[in-house]
Chains A and B, each alone.
Chain A
Amino acid sequence: MSLERKDFLGLYDVKADDIYQILDTAEAMKEIFTRTVKKVPTLRGKTIVNLFFEPSTRTKSSFDLAAKRLSADVMSISKSTSSVVKGETLLDTAKTMEVMGADVVVIRHSVPGAPQFLANNIRASVLNAGDGAHGHPTQALLDLYTMREKLGRIEGLKVLIIGDIGHSRVAHSNIWGLTELGAEVRVAGPATLIPAEVEKMGVKTYNNLDKALQDVDVVNILRIQLERQASGLFPSIREYRHFYGMNKERLEEAGKDLLVMHPGPMNRGIEIDSSVADSEQSVITEQVTNGVAIRMALLYLLAGREIEDEDLA
């Protein structure tokens, strides 16, 4: 069994069977974390390159750790310490990594479609670790994994995503994955941060958070990027907090069974209060653990693939 693909660029074209295969593989990977020796020899001799053109701690270290736990050799390159500052193009950087023998290139880039561009031009497998406002498939997969682990299923769940839907790659990937698996997705936020046509993705939009919270099983709170306020998309941080911040009162109103998620890093006191982030219902730290398992699963499923000429269209 394999994912029938060279690259993993997003969840927009991934079918339910493949998503479940990744989640099941991740479940087996997670068992490794409980051992005394937290390492398996599976990807010995494979080389994985992390190309991070945007700041990131958790995704980068998560990919690093995932590769190391599978015994792959891993190189991490970030924008500030690479030849990119000397003006090297993305493709040249990636080609350099390829001739050094990279089997998988993990890329984080601020331009949507950068991973697709690389995938079309290099032989190595390309794994999208977040591209602009487009997608962040591994984050969505770890969110799906966490929901399934905690609630036993995804199909039929009511999931509410709160925040900047328009600019959030996490929201987009989550919507693709959740709707494919048959969950009911709601989005809530200021009208200026919700794209007019987002309902075409199969979600319901709400501008009133308290209404949106009724009967939901999971709430996924997005990080509010403070620079959006500067560009005038919402009047003030205080107002955002008042209307869309997840606080103790809203959590109590929603009930004990609500699962609270946040992709991190959190703005405590803005989109999420500390009393919510640190509550019993919060699975934010587990999301980080599950992220390593998901990335191990994807590296396993991609890195063993034989490279064929046909893959280079």
Chain B
Amino acid sequence: MIELILIKIFLLNWSSEIGKGRQYERETSTLLAGVRRFFYLQREVLKLKEHDMKVKTEVIDADGIHRALTRIAHEIIEKNKGTEGLVLIGIRTRGVPLAQRLAEKIAEIEGERLPVGILDITLYRDDLSTIAQRPIVHKTEIPFDITGKKVILVDDVIYTGRTVRAALDALVDLGRPESIQLAVMIDRGHRELPIRPDYIGKNLPTSRREVVDVNIMETDEKEKVLILEREE
């Protein structure tokens, strides 16, 4: 079935190339390029098949996420002796709803609603020159000045630390905060940079072959943390 679809894609590619009315001599090379593209697509499909994931375990359920956020909210208030000068900034995508929920919980406890910003780190990634596909850039929305503020950076999972590195670079371009602290739902280890979170929902030792899949109601329409594993 997949083979049939691929042959169709290949034929479409070919016919549209010729349809553009390019010179006759170039048709042969277009045909060759089409054949190469066909085999390339086939390889990609096989790779996708290998990368099928299966759910290994559910590590945290909705209640667990709720409790962890409540604890982190208390820890943030305790460590900063109140909410004076605090702002929350969520890293796209799942850091954003987590930051908003932390703001709600802190408001419930202290009665003050902290400002919440959205940070997109795509333009600061350190792998842009090595990957062929351009990641989609979304908007950074931080409608307040972070200079002199205590910034709590929020993300769902910390792994290599490279996302946080990019986020730190982005933040210093936006202003000069008094301090930056890091809150994450899951710390799965395997750090490649000297970066350590200040607030952790759960420490989760994993192997590199596994994938930690955080699902939040706002973005995924369900609420749980799963460990996925590549199928052999």
Contact = CB atoms under 8 A, between A and B. Distances in A.
Interface of A: 1-3, 13, 21, 24-25, 27-29, 31-32, 35-37, 39-43, 45-46, 70, 297, 300-301, 304-306, 310, 313
Nearest to B138: A28
Nearest to B33: A310
Interface stretch (B49-57, B83-91, B127-135, B179-187): B127-135
B29 A300 contact: no
Interface string B17-38: 0001010001001100100110
B123 A40 contact: yes
Contact of B128 (A3, A13, A31, A304): A304
A301 B175 contact: no
A2 B128 contact: no
B139 interface: yes
A32 B173 CA distance: 10
Contacts, number: 71
A36 B175 contact: yes
B133 A2 contact: yes
Nearest to A70: B123
A104 to B, nearest CB: 13
Contacts of A32: 123
Given A1-B133, A40-B124, 4 more contacts: A13-B20, A24-B138, A39-B173, A304-B129
B141 interface: yes
* Chain B interface size, under 10 / 10 to 19 / 20 to 34 / 35 or more: 20 to 34
B133 A37 contact: no
Given A28-B140, A42-B123, A35 B132 contact: no
Contacts of A3: 134
A33 to B, nearest CB: 12
Given A27-B139, A28-B139, A40 B133 contact: no
B29 A313 contact: yes
Nearest 7 A/B pairs, CB to CB: A40-B123, A28-B137, A37-B173, A42-B123, A306-B132, A2-B134, A28-B139
A43 B134 CA distance: 12
Contacts of B141: 31
Given A39-B173, A41-B123, A1 B136 contact: yes
18 contacts: A1-B136, A2-B132, A2-B134, A28-B137, A35-B173, A39-B173, A40-B124, A40-B173, A41-B169, A42-B128, A43-B128, A300-B134, A300-B137, A301-B134, A304-B134, A306-B132, A310-B37, A313-B29
Contacts of B122: 28
Contacts of A70: 123
Interface of B: 20, 22, 26, 29-30, 33, 36-37, 120, 122-124, 128-129, 131-141, 169-170, 173-175
Given A39-B173, A42-B124, A1 B134 contact: yes
A305 B173 contact: no
Q: Which of B123, B129, B131, B141 has the largest count of A CB atoms less than 10 A from its CB?
A: B123
A282 B184 CA distance: 47
A45 B129 contact: yes
Contacts of B120: 28
Contacts of B22: 313
Contacts of B137: 24-25, 28-29, 297, 300
A305 to B, nearest CB: 6
B135 A1 contact: yes
Nearest to A1: B136
Contacts of A29: 137
Nearest to B166: A41
Contacts of A313: 22, 26, 29-30, 33
A192 B97 CA distance: 59
Nearest to A310: B33
A9 to B, nearest CB: 12
A305 B135 CA distance: 11
B48 to A, nearest CB: 17
B9 to A, nearest CB: 13
B99 to A, nearest CB: 18
A91 B48 CA distance: 41
Nearest to B135: A1
Contacts of A24: 136-138
Contact of A36 (B26, B135, B170, B174): B174
A222 B140 CA distance: 34
Nearest to A42: B123
Contacts of B29: 313
Contacts of B129: 45-46, 304
